[in-house]
Chain A
Amino acid sequence: MSGGGDGYLKPLPTVTHEDREFWAAAREHRFVLPKCQACGHVWFPPYASCPACLSFDRGWTEASGRGTVWGFTIMRQPYIPSFEPELPYNVVLVELEEGPMVYSNLIGIDNADIACGLPVEAVFEDATDEITLIKFRPV
């Protein structure tokens, strides 16, 4: 993970054979989750195989983008230099409607107003020409 071109300096995902389709969809502003064609299980991160039944017959399902904030933290120290200008910033763990948990940032809200259980929806933030990050905002 490292900053890419396009003036975006923050860490970027290293796209792999396992999650290439996930990032390709995000670039089209679609939020997809891996779904097992054998047992129906939905999981994240997008491993190539189903953790429930070990099938490699992986498909994709469109996520609703809705979820709730399970927990959050307000980062106060400069661990990652490229995030330093944004301090203090939030990181949230969102429980998606489909079940999986995802880390993200909550936008459109003051850090002081973030609360566990807050309903949120996905928004797409184009970081570079190749990578679009999925963030969330209060519903």
Chain B
Amino acid sequence: MSDREFAGKTAIVGIGGSDFARLYRTPDPERTGEALATEAIAAAIADAGLEKSQIDGLITGGLPHYEPVAYRTGLTDVRFVVDYPQAGRMCAMALMHAATAVHHGLADYVVLFNSVAFRSQGVKFGAQPQGLLYDTIYGMASPGAQYSMGFTRYQAEYGGTEEQLGAIPVAIRSHARMMPGAIMQAEMTIDDYLAARYIAEPLRLFDYCLVNDGAVAYVVTTAERARDLAHPPVLIAGTAGRANFREWYVDLGFWDEACRSMKADLFDPLGVTTDDIDCLQVYDNFSVSVLWGLEGFGFAPKGQGLEWVQNGRIALGGELPVNTSGGMLSESYLQGWNQHAEAVRQLRGQAGDRQIPDCDWSLYWCLSALPGATLLCRDGLL
């Protein structure tokens, strides 16, 4: 939201998440999203240095119903409850909601989470009828196919090769290899990328995010309270949304307008520019989402994003590292939530081997039917 007064008044003070790789190795039909969420919530509260009794707001995500997790965590008498559906696009919206709630005193400490047991439950994206779009009758059958269709159009307008696109998953994989708990730990070269099968041509296997189990939770409170807690506060500098509901999925301008709108909301009130951003922790449901966001937010010139991402520019050690824990392509498909956890680690200076020196600002975006974006920063910058 474009509100200078609100910027930096709230903070993420605790993060918790699953060991995604372990869960991936051991799928279990009895595994529940409630149990995964409970573990993540416990870890996030402990990370913040809080007592569970201090939590008075709950935002649930990814579960069929919100009450079972409240029973399991004892968060049964909180003052503020919101339930978000299982949808990655809701990640920025949930943080927006949490920040607004604590800023206005609707709750003091909100715990929010996303929890999925996709792998254990055998969820197959694209196999379900989606009559909404009048496309399944023609065999259109996966979100990735929608982005693939966008990429054929992008190539027609601007050129660029599949090999160039491969630089994005290859860089993100190199980060996962440095992240404990990331699912995809094997080295991946551009030749490995190109050798993988097409799913919806021209997109290949490694252009697609994982389908796995896990949960991520965070605790949000006011910046003032945050300064008394366990870790350096990570300030919520801004949150933005800009719906892009279309009966066809991919925006005809590759989300350019949505990105411009969200960038204006996030950057302009603060005088922040793309040069200030130290890392991107973004929604890489498909590799092309990263490409289009880089152009839409103005990091790469329009139509030149594929050239821009070459030669290690988006890898750790490069000019603008992207998804330094491996993102959804290689760490875990927690739908934007694992990216926020990594942003918090980077901004606290707790990212270990992956630490970006002097990391002050981290930007998140999700390009979907409901684009959202968030801007986080270290304390003392606002």
Contact = CB atoms under 8 A, between A and B. Distances in A.
A102 B137 contact: no
Contact of B248 (A74, A80, A103): A103
A89 interface: yes
A73 B127 contact: no
A59 B224 CA distance: 58
B137 A1 contact: yes
A124 interface: no
Interface in B180-201: 197-201
Contacts of A70: 149, 153, 252
Interface in B132-170: 133-142, 145, 148-153, 156-157
A72 B149 contact: yes
B131 to A, nearest CB: 5
B199 A105 contact: no
Given A11-B129, A14-B131, A79-B126, A73 B152 contact: yes
A45 B199 CA distance: 27
A44 B246 CA distance: 11
A13 B153 contact: no
A45 B145 CA distance: 20
B240 interface: no
A93 interface: yes
A93 B156 CA distance: 14
Q: Which of A92, A101, A103, A117 has the most chain B CB atoms closer than 10 A to its own CB?
A: A103
A71 B142 CA distance: 15
A101 B153 CA distance: 14
Contacts of B138: 91, 103-105, 133, 135
Nearest to B144: A73
A38 interface: no
A39 interface: no
A110 to B, nearest CB: 13
B247 interface: yes
Contact of A116 (B131, B152, B248): B152
B247 A44 contact: yes
Given A13-B134, A70-B153, A93-B248, A76 B139 contact: no
Nearest to A2: B129
Given A13-B131, A79-B127, A105 B247 contact: no
A41 interface: no
A24 interface: no
B112 interface: no
A78 to B, nearest CB: 9
Given A79-B126, A91-B135, A103-B134, A73 B141 contact: no
A10 interface: yes
A71 B153 contact: yes
Given A80-B127, A116-B156, A75 B139 contact: yes
B129 A71 contact: no
Contacts of A117: 156
Contact of A73 (B124, B148, B247): B148
Interface in A85-139: 86, 88-89, 91-93, 101-105, 115-117, 133, 135
B200 A73 contact: yes
Nearest first, the 8 closest Cβ-Cβ pairs linking A and B are A79-B141, A116-B156, A71-B153, A103-B135, A74-B201, A71-B149, A73-B148, A76-B198
11 contacts: A13-B137, A44-B247, A71-B153, A72-B149, A73-B149, A73-B200, A79-B127, A79-B139, A83-B139, A101-B246, A117-B156
Interface of A: 1-2, 10-14, 44-45, 70-77, 79-80, 83, 86, 88-89, 91-93, 101-105, 115-117, 133, 135
Given A75-B139, A75-B201, A101-B247, 5 more contacts: A70-B153, A70-B252, A83-B141, A91-B138, A135-B138
